[in-house]
Structure 1
C-alpha cells in the first residue's frame, strides 16, 4: 500500500475538478508521515471498526486501512465520496474494508444510520481530520448519538484544541471545555505544522486524544450520587439540563452567575436560590465552575437539591 503525497493530492484535485472549500473546512493532508502518525497513535487493532468524518481525498483513510481496520467514512461532498473507493483500490488497499456514507455527519442520529455492512461491529473509535469550522459540534454530536464510541483521536485547529483541553479558570476555558468534560477526558497529543496541508491553512493544528468516561461512574465519584439504577433517559435529561446551564452561563461569561443564569433560572433572585441549593456562590463567574459544579446546578433545578438520590 502507498499513501497520498503532495503530487497525488494535486492530481486528484485536478482529475475531480475539486477546489478545496473553506466553507466545508477542506484542507487535504499531503504528508504520509503525518497520517501514519495519527493512525498509529489511535492504537487501532486489526479488525477494529473506525469511523472517520470528512475523509476528503483519502489521505488518513489509507493510513487507517494500512493498520488493518475497517473504516466507515462519512463524506458530505458527493464527488469525494464517489472517488474514495477508487482511490483506495488504486493505492493497494481493499475497498471491502471501506464503507462510505455520502452524508452530513451532523445528521447521523445513531448507529443504525451508519448502515453497517454485514459482519461489521459498531465503531468504538473516531479518528479524523475534522472539518475545522464544525469540529466541536461534530465531536459532541457523535459522543451523544454513538454511546459505544469509547475514544476519539482527531486533528483540529490549535485554538479549538486549547478550548477542549482547558481547565477551570484557564483563559481558553469555556462551554466546549465543560461539555467535553461531561463525556470524559481530553488531552493534546501532538502539534501538526501548516505545511502538511493543501491548501496550507492560516492557523496551526493539533491532534487531540479523547477518552470516554462512563457517566454514571463520574456522577458517583464527583457528586457522591448513586446513579447506577438511573435509566438512560434520566441521565440524558440531566445532561441536557447541564448543557443548558453551561450555555446560559457562558453566553454572558463576564457577568456573575447571579446575572448570567437569571434567564435560565427565571430571575436573578431565582438564580441565587438555585445556586445556593447547589452550594455555589452567586458571585462567581462561569469560568470558575467545573463540570461537577454545573451538574450540581442542573440537579438542583431538576430535583430541588444537588444531593439528590435516584430520581423517581
Structure 2
C-alpha cells in the first residue's frame, strides 16, 4: 500500500431493509454494514478455525467440480497480467471443492504460497442448501449469491456493472474504493482481455509507478478504505472501482450482485461498436457525435425529442421489445456489410 492517508468508508450497524433501500442506496456511496452476517451459522462455527469453516461449508457440498485458480509463485498472490501482458499470471483447472480446501488449509501459514483461489461460484450450484440457512434482509431471494474462497490474494482494482453486497464469512479483507469518475486516473486495461471479465486498473496499488501513472495521485486523493472482519459486509454501488486484498491465510466471502436495469444489448458490445463508429473520426467530427450521443443517448439536456409527440419519435422513442428488435435488425444488417 502506498504511503497515503485514506478516508475511511462510512459505517452503519443494524441496517434494515428499509434503511438500505431508502437511505443507503440513494446516496450512491460505499457503506460498511457492520455485523450484517455475524449471526450466520457458518460465521459462528468458523470462529474456531479455518478447518471449522471448511467443515461448515462441506456439509452442503454435493461433489460438483469448481474452477481452482492457481497463481504464478512469482506474482506474490497478485491476480493480474504477466509482465508481457500476453497471458494472465494464473491458470484455472477444475477440482473438487474438498481437494481445493485441503490444499488451502495446507498452505494457510505459508507466506510463500502462490495464489490459491475459487472465485464467484453461484452458491445454489456449488453448495446447495446453503442459502436456506444464510441470507440477508435487504435483497430479494431471487438475487443469487456467489462464494469466493482463497488464501491471501490481491484482486486488482476493477469495477462491476452491478451493485454489490460483499459479506465476510471468514478471514479479513481490505477494500480500497474509488468513485466511477476516476476512470481516467486509474489507467484501465483492455476491455476484451481482463482477469475477471471487466477492465482493471493497470496501476499496482501497493507499489504505484507515479512516473508512468502520474494521474493516479488524483485517484488516491479521493480513495477510501474499508477493513472488514468476519460477520461484516460492504455495499459497493454500481461501477465503483474496488481493489480487494485478503489479509488472512484463509478467507471466505459471499457476495450478492444485482442490477434492476436490463439493457437490451450487452454494454461492452455497444462500447466496441461506438469505438468502431466514432473513435477514428477527425476530432471535429468526434465532437459533433459526442454532442449527438449526449442528446439522444445520455439525455444530458433533457428528454430527447421531448418536443415531439411520442408516436413521432421513431426509434428514439420509449423502450419496448418492438423497438429493441427493430434496432437490432438494423445493426445486424449494418455490421454484416463489408
Report if TM-score (shorter chain) is over 0.5. no
Higher helix content, 1 or 2: 1
TM-score for the superposition, normalised by structure 1: 0.31
Relative to the length of structure 2, the TM-score reads: 0.30
Instruction: Choose between structure 1 and 2: higher strand proportion.
Output: 2
